[in-house]
Amino acid sequence: MRGIGLLHQLVGRIGLVGDIDDAVHVLQTHLPYHESDHVLTLAYHALCGGTCLQDIDRLRNDAAVLDALGAARIPDPTTAGDFGRRFEEKDVRGLLDAFDRTRRRVWAEQPDAFFDLAILDADGTIVETAGRSKQGQDITYDGRWGYHPLLITLANTGEVLSLVNRPGNRPSHKGAAAERTRAGVLCREAGFRKVLFRGDTDFSQTERLDGWDAMPHVRFLFGYDAKPNLVALAEELPATAWQRLTRPDRYAVATTTRQKPADIRDGIVRDREYETLRLQSEDVAEFAYRPTACDREYRMVVVRKNIARTKGQRALFDETRFFFYITNERAWTPAEIVFSANDRCHQENLIAQLKGGVRALSAPTDTLASNWAYMVMTALAWSRKAWWALMPPDTAGRWQGRHRDEKRQVLR
């Protein structure tokens, strides 16, 4: 719980309390709590390791926490649960808008280079439920009961720009285009010069591509299913169209290279003659492609993975697999397109932190809307961490490099 006082000071500095109280009106009276008190209680509960609403009681009885917050008391778990059940969709939208007003003030303090490019990632994730009476839950694609929230995140900082709760049977891309556009408008109004939409194959909504391409500030980069017609086009490319894809080292050796220890697992696999797939090399190429739902052609970047299949010490045969990426970014090389698309995997780490770190992606209440509100309020804990990381100065001078390193370290 150390540091909660510092984060509470940040809340006062960036005007978050006023933004929440101006945008959200679900309480008829404010005796003694305002909407911001409930929202911040849930966010602090997440920051302090709370795993369920009942854990709020620990904060209420911790004198050090109350002193750090400058509060005589905070809402109890029952009151917090009742607060969430008051929310409807318009109220959750108001809460998201309040957070957007706050984040724009935080962004306004960043250096000019911060606004070169906003990278927006989208993905869905399953939030499993145990209760049989939770409204809005449904059967997921793998047979579980739960919800399927959609997240739009800013890859630059790890902030959650949009979070929409959905029944468990909804496909990943359902509603993603509208939420992505909303987040893109936010970034443009905040001063970002370009916006890049990224997503996996589920989010390559081709009926939207022409509209986004018509916006001069919007770029998109989506994974694309390896359909037979695309594989045939890739196989027909001449040998001169392919270039070897060389990936950068994961890290730089600071001292001297050490000898790698023996790979115990590899030895066991070989001795027992299991079949294995080993990547031998990667090549990259591109060609123009117009999806059926589009009127324009776009760049289709393709990665050819050359894979060796072995069994024990015997080589069986080689196989080739293709991975496709569609984009309207014309300035980047094919390799840069591939590396940017691969970087989207960092969103999986962010979602894991939202699930297992601050536990924002859970469903402790009884309706789709109230659980949506809970997810948005507790996800504020993660976004607030990003805001705190962005607040150290980044001015020119002898400490500029150090300040930038501190920001990157906390954001990660």
DSSP secondary structure string, 382-412? HHHHHHHHH-S---SSTTHHHHHHHHHHHH-
Does any domain span residue 215?
Answer: no
Whether residues 292 and 384 share a domain: the answer is: no
Whether residues 156 and 113 share a domain: the answer is: yes
- At residue 394, does pLDDT exceed 70? no
Q: How confident is the model at residue 212 (pLDDT cuts 50, 70, 90)?
A: very high
Does any domain span residue 216?
Answer: no
Angle between helices 16-23 and 35-47 (to 10 degrees): 130
Mean per-residue pLDDT, 148-173? 96
- Domain encompassing residue 280: 224-247+263-328
Torsion of CA 307, 312, 314, 319, to 10 degrees: -20
- At residue 317, does pLDDT exceed 90? no
SS3 (DSSP) at 73: coil
Q: Which of 275, 299, 328 is the endpoint of a domain?
A: 328
Whether residues 75 and 172 share a domain: the answer is: yes
> Element (H or E) spanning 334, and its range?
helix 334-343
Residue among 159, 41, 156, 150 at smallest CA distance from 103:
159
Does any domain span residue 291?
Answer: yes
Q: In this prediction, what percent of the chain has a pLDDT beyond 90?
A: 69
Whether residues 278 and 143 share a domain: the answer is: no
Whether residues 189 and 228 share a domain: the answer is: no
Whether residues 356 and 399 share a domain: the answer is: yes
Q: What is the pLDDT of residue 2?
A: 58
Mean per-residue pLDDT, 52-70? 87
Whether residues 403 and 377 share a domain: the answer is: yes
- Are residues 155 and 345 in contact, defined by beta-carbon separation less than 8 angstroms? no
Whether residues 63 and 165 share a domain: the answer is: yes
Does any domain span residue 370?
Answer: yes
SS3 (DSSP) at 192: coil
Range in 138-152, 291-305, 384-398 with the lowest mean pLDDT: 384-398
How far is residue 330's CA from residue 411's CA, in Å, rounded to a whole number? 30
Choice between 8 and 244, residue whose per-residue pLDDT is larger = 244
Does any domain span residue 92?
Answer: yes
Does any domain span residue 219?
Answer: no
- At residue 412, does pLDDT exceed 80? no
- Are residues 200 and 173 in contact, defined by beta-carbon separation less than 8 angstroms? no
How far is residue 303's CA from residue 197's CA, in Å, rounded to a whole number? 20
Compute the mean pLDDT over every residue in the chain, rounded to the nearest whole number: 91
Q: How confident is the model at residue 380 (pLDDT cuts 50, 70, 90)?
A: very high
How far is residue 4's CA from residue 21's CA, in Å, rounded to a whole number? 21
Mean per-residue pLDDT, 196-217? 93
Q: What is the pLDDT of residue 294?
A: 96
Sheet holding 195-199, edge to edge: 159-164, 150-154, 118-124, 195-199, 218-224, 314-327, 298-311, 275-289, 243-244
Peptide bond into 32 cis (omega under 30): yes
- At residue 373, does pLDDT exceed 80? yes
Whether residues 20 and 164 share a domain: the answer is: yes
Does any domain span residue 180?
Answer: yes
Q: Which of 328, 354, 382 is the endpoint of a domain?
A: 328
Give me the residues paired with residue 326 across strands. 222, 300
- Are residues 36 and 410 in contact, defined by beta-carbon separation less than 8 angstroms? no
How far is residue 384's CA from residue 47's CA, in Å, rounded to a whole number? 10
Q: Which of 328, 361, 382 is the endpoint of a domain?
A: 328
Whether residues 68 and 123 share a domain: the answer is: yes
Does any domain span residue 338?
Answer: no
Q: What is the pLDDT of residue 49?
A: 84
Q: How confident is the model at residue 267 (pLDDT cuts 50, 70, 90)?
A: confident
Whether residues 54 and 139 share a domain: the answer is: yes
DSSP secondary structure letter of residue 260: P
Whether residues 43 and 94 share a domain: the answer is: yes
Q: What is the pLDDT of residue 59?
A: 87
pTM (2 d.p.): 0.90
Q: In this prediction, what percent of the chain has a pLDDT beyond 70?
A: 96
- Structural domain count, the chain: 2
